[in-house]
Each structure stands twice: as structure tokens, then as C-alpha cells.
Copies of this chain bind each other. A is one copy, B any other.
Amino acid sequence: MVEDQEITNFASDNAAPVCPEIIEALRIENTGPAMGYGNDDTTREMEEQLSTLFECDLRAFPVATGTAANVLGLSVMTPPYGSIYCHKMAHIEGDECGAPEFFTGGAKLALLDGPDGKLSAEILEDALAKSGAGNVHHIQPAAISLAQVTECGTIYSPSEIASISAVAKKYKLGLQMDGARFANSIAALNCSPAEITWKAGVDLLSFGATKNGAMAAEAVVFFNMEKAAEFEFRRKRGAHLFSKSRYLSAQINAYLEDGLWLKMAGQANNMAARMARGLSDLVAAPLHYKVEANIIFATLPKNVIEALEAAGFLFYVMGSKDEGHVRLVTSWNTTEEEVDRFLDVLLKHQ
């Protein structure tokens, strides 16, 4: 790491600080007593705000990590002898140290491939047709998990989700959406939150805020409310029910107020687009996927990677520097100046 100069962190959107509005909301929340464990007005307000946002009745529960949101949600959809169909690059597969297996009591992730980090109705139909459903020797298909935004930085359209949902319904599977970067998808798509979720057949959403400016807050949103009661027991035994829940809910309330969440996600997306344009137009660096949200995968020459690091930029190099595959993530607080400074280094060293 570089001393004596500013670090610009493109390693992850969770390296960014909390947005000031949310810090301020915590201060404001901090007056007087409130009953613990979610029996408080701030949490009730959070559920109402999400209900308004999604234009439907729903149940919403705050938790503090994206992994908790995903795996607690999946655990009410999947028996221990069940399987969850997901992309082989999914966060639940590679980056949660077995949390889905733990919370489901031993379910399997059935890994599928698909271009751009996305599943499709066809890919799922193919896999499910030979899944051995009903055969006692085989683990039983129970759920489909989609990431919106995907791990590749791509985005599902409402019609893609709807066709996947049709397969889910055909095979009686739950449809869960890992929305750790849900805000970035809404900021990018020309659609309402309802259109990309329950109207397209999503049963359960991890509505992420942490990666987009919150401190530690996600809401698990049940559009299909049948399993919400079970969720509460599973959240408690997972040690994810906060005694002072109001400080989780206060983050989400501030996040939603006056469209703050979309403003922040829009800024991250715009900065990624600016960087992507620079990479392809200015320096002809190959992009691995269409840049639709705030994540860029590209290939850079080794000397450029080293120059960027020397200039104080942090980001992931996947594999060796000789291969040169890098991941760049912009955040709610990424500035044009930071992106341009990054591109300047590139231009100078290409």
C-alpha cells in the first residue's frame, strides 16, 4: 500500500464510507428509549416505506449483512434436502464461506453457467428437466437465486426475470433475488422496483443498502408473505435479530428518503460508465462484460496495473498481473475527478 498520498479505492463499493445523510439519521434516531427487537416505530415505518416503494403489501425485516439477508431468505424456501439453482459465479456460491449450506441445514447449490453472469429460462429449464425431482436419491430442486446486479456487473431485464419466473412456477420453486446492488439496477433500468420484482414473479428480495452508502443495513422483503413468520424465528436463531433494531431501520429509512438511494446508485453507475468509456475509447482496454451498473471487468497490461497501484489506486487483480484481469468498482462517492485521474494514469502508461 502507498503511504503519503491519497488512496482511491476501486476495490469494492463496501470500502466507501457511509453517506452523511445516514450518519445523521443515526444521530437523529438517538433520542429516548424504544422497545427492542424490532417492536419500534422506526422499524414499522421502514416496512411502510418499502410497501409504498414496491406498491404492494409486503413484510420487510432489517438485517445487517448481505449474506444474512440472502441465506436467511433462502433458508425459508429450501429444505435441507433441497437445492438452490444459481449461477456458478454467484456470491452465495463463492463468497459466503458456506453460509447458504449452514442456514438451510445442508442444502446444495446447483451451479449453472450462462453468459454475462446471468441465468436464463432455457438454461434453467434444461437443468431442471434432468434434476431428478421426486427421486429419493437426488437432492430436490427448491429455489432459484438471481443476483441483480450480477457478479459480472450485468443486469436482468424485467422480461428476463419474468421468463425465469415462469420456469420457477412450472417446477414449483421459490424465486429469490440477491439485491445487494438492487439500487444500481433500478438506477440503470427504466422500470419501477415493482416491475423487476414481484410483478416479474420474484418471491423474496434481499434489498441491499450497505454497498450503496449505508453502514450495515439490508432489508429482507417478502412479497409472498406465507413464510415471513418462519423467517422471524430463523433470524433470531441465526443471531441476526438486533436488540436495537431501530438503528438498522433508521438507515433504510434515510436511504429511501427523497430518492437518496437512487441518487447514490446513479452516481456510482455514471462513474462506471465514464470509466468504461475511457477504457474502451481512450486506451482500448478490453472489457469482459457490458458495463451496466457500477462494476467493470477489464484486461490491462501489467505495467499499467503497476502504474495505477503506484498512483494510489486500489482494485482487485484476478489471478496474476501478467494475465492482467482486473475488477473495478465505483461507489456512491466516486467522483469524476477520481475517474479521470485513473484514466490519465492509463493514458500515460499504455
A residues with a Cβ closer than 8 A to B are 7-9, 11-12, 14-18, 20, 23, 26-27, 30-37, 63-68, 71-72, 79-81, 94-99, 101-109, 136-140, 210-211, 215-216, 230, 232-244, 247-248, 314
Known A-B contacts A35-B11, A65-B241, A239-B65; the reply to A96 vs B233 at CB < 8 A is no
Contacts A14-B244, A15-B33, A17-B32 aside, 19 further interface pairs with beta carbons under 8 A come to A8-B33, A9-B35, A14-B36, A15-B36, A20-B30, A37-B136, A63-B239, A65-B242, A67-B239, A80-B98, A81-B97, A96-B137, A96-B237, A96-B239, A101-B108, A136-B241, A216-B243, A216-B247, A238-B238
Which B residues are in CB contact (< 8 Å) with A247? 18, 215-216
> In the assembled complex, how far is the CB of residue A332 from the closest CB belonging to chain B, in whole angstroms?
12
Which B residues are in CB contact (< 8 Å) with A230? 79
Which B residues are in CB contact (< 8 Å) with A31? 17
19 contacts between A and B (CB under 8 A): A18-B247, A33-B314, A37-B136, A37-B137, A64-B64, A65-B241, A65-B242, A67-B241, A95-B138, A96-B237, A98-B108, A99-B238, A136-B232, A136-B241, A140-B233, A215-B244, A216-B242, A216-B243, A238-B239
Contact between chains at A137 and B23 (CB < 8 Å): no
Which B residues are in CB contact (< 8 Å) with A136? 37, 97, 232-233, 235-236, 241
Complex: chain B residue closest to A101, CB-CB: B106
Which B residues are in CB contact (< 8 Å) with A106? 98, 101-102, 104-106, 237
Which B residues are in CB contact (< 8 Å) with A16? 33
Complex: chain B residue closest to A242, CB-CB: B216
> In the assembled complex, how far is the CB of residue A294 from the closest CB belonging to chain B, in whole angstroms?
15
A325 and B81 alpha carbons, distance in the complex (Å)? 28
Which B residues are in CB contact (< 8 Å) with A12? 36, 243
A247 and B248 alpha carbons, distance in the complex (Å)? 13
Which B residues are in CB contact (< 8 Å) with A234? 81
> In the assembled complex, how far is the CB of residue A150 from the closest CB belonging to chain B, in whole angstroms?
18
A238 and B67 alpha carbons, distance in the complex (Å)? 9
Contact between chains at B18 and A244 (CB < 8 Å): yes
Which B residues are in CB contact (< 8 Å) with A80? 98, 101-102, 105, 237
Q: Which of A27, A66, A314 has the most CB of B within 10 A?
A: A27
Contact between chains at A30 and B23 (CB < 8 Å): yes
A34 and B15 alpha carbons, distance in the complex (Å)? 5
